[in-house]
Amino acid sequence: MTYWKPRHSMVFAILLLFAMLPSAHSQAPAGAGSASIAPGHPNLPNGYSMVAHLVCEGDNTNATADGVTIAQTRGERRALGPDSLPFKGEAFGNQRIEFSIDGMDSSADYLLGFTWWDTGKQGRVQSLTLGWGPNTDVSTVIPPTVPLAFHGDQPTYARVVVPLSQGDFPAGSCKMIVEAHAGPDAVVQEVWLMKRTDTIPQKRVLIVTGDDWTGHLWRDTGPELAVILREDSRLEVSITECPAFLGSPLLERYDAVILHFKNYQERLPLNQEVWDGLARYVKAGHGLVLVHFGCGAFKEWEGYKQLVGGIWNPGKRAHDPYGPFQVCVADHAHPITMSMSSFDTQDELYTCLDTWPDIRVLFKAESKVDQVEYPMGFVVRDSERTFNCTLGHDVNALRSPGARTLYRRAVLWAAGLEP
């Protein structure tokens, strides 16, 4: 067969044409710059629209859209090197950085978001405080934490979301304060605000991630979980990459929380305030779902095993080799499993859990290594809305039809809806 070979001049012309076409970056919304977040990003909830977005680079100290203004009112700006991409700059302050948000509709729900990153890993510890209007007291909504996430064992930026509800800002304004508690200064790379535009879903769900074992690529699996849950229009789903938000008083605004992380205390320490916040949330009757290595989080916390029903024991064999196996329904009488059948998947069959005596096993699987049955998913009898599941090693595992149905039904149940 004879293949057509274009002349070098034609190849050059084609390349030049593509170079002249507007890129996806150049078509980004005004003010988006080199930011990592944009409308349609999987971390952002369904049913909202972006109303203002401030990228902290250059001289742009404010961003205005749809009558809403985000303005930096305290702190300075500096450029960042190529190792800090996708960011070209950041806001910083020796003690704190402040932003004012004005022009909000006091009868609407909003989502405040930001990205922070301890660039250079300089030992920063920061907190987030919000003030509702010019004459009101401020309150800490994220306790002091390391402004970092870890993906594939490498430090990276953390995208954080905070729900704002009707009545929070009667004057239509809000003050955002990022305060330094350790390290050279406080830093923020971008701030955005989203307004709810769709009919309010029945329940609100938060996926909490931001760290895990090196082979668990949560920036792939977290969005896949969100896609699974958003297939049911009754759920509003957001992702935050800041586990310290579990210590926030605003956590109670979510009907169910999904733990999709394994923290390592030496790099992402989570203190008693965070543990107490999660325990308080569960004991108040809210829903909690653990995904895969969520059973390994909080291993320093003695009460974690009782709270979630089963935790990783590093002294046991971890799991069968990644591969195909069947997940069997062990209890057909629970709302999660009702109408479900056994299903095949390709995943890691965990054999490493220490379980609390008072659990109700809903799913199980037999190991091909030792021919022993192990729990794959169970609920905690002492808690009305806690489900712990070890499935979901990677995106491929989460794309098993059975696993998708399992997690969607489990979260619906945890949030208080009929699956």
CATH of the domain at 285: 3.40.50.880
Same domain for 255 and 193: no
**Domain range enclosing 73:** 48-197
Residue 184: pLDDT over 90: yes
Q: Examine the pLDDT at 13 and tell me if it is beyond 50.
A: no
Query: Between these two residues, 86 and 184, which has the higher pLDDT value?
Result: 184
10 assigned to some structural domain: no
pLDDT at 24 over 60: no
Residues in the chain: 419
For 136-140, 238-242, 247-251, 389-393, which range has the lowest pLDDT when averaged over its residues?
136-140
Q: Cβ–Cβ contacts within 10 Å for residue 129, how many? A: 16
173 with 269, same domain: the answer is no
Looking at residue 64, its pLDDT comes to 82
61 in any annotated domain: yes
pLDDT class for 18, splitting at 50, 70, 90?
very low
Q: How many CB atoms lie within 10 A of CB 12?
A: 11
Give dist(CA 169, CA 103) in Å, integer: 10
> Token pair for residue 83?
């190792």
pLDDT grade for 83, boundaries at 50, 70 and 90: confident
Report yes or no on whether pTM surpasses 0.75.
yes
33 φ, ψ to 5°? 55, -130
| Per-residue pLDDT, 166 | 86
**Domain annotation covers residue 22:** no
**Count of domains forming the chain:** 2
pLDDT at 71 over 80: yes
Maximal CA-CA distance, the chain: 79
Mean pLDDT, rounded, for 289-306: 93
pLDDT value of position 35: 56
Q: Is 125 within a domain?
A: yes
Of 142, 167, 197, which one is at a domain's C-terminal end?
A: 197
Do 229 and 105 belong to one domain? no
Are both 89 and 183 inside the same structural domain?
A: yes
Residue 54 domain flag: yes
218 has pLDDT over 60: yes
In the structure, what pLDDT confidence band is assigned to residue 135 with cuts at 50, 70 and 90? Answer: low
Q: Mark residue 80 as left, alpha or beta (left: phi above 0; alpha: psi -120 to 50; beta: remaining).
A: beta
Residues 69 and 159 in one domain: yes
Within-domain flag for 98: yes
231 plus 357 within the same structural domain: yes
Q: Which position has the higher pLDDT, 65 or 327?
A: 327
For the cut 60, the answer to whether the pLDDT of residue 7 exceeds it is: no
Q: How do 110-116 and 190-196 pair as beta strands?
A: antiparallel
Q: What is the pLDDT of residue 204?
A: 96
Q: What is the mean pLDDT of residues 345-352?
A: 97
Percentage with pLDDT > 70 across the chain:
90
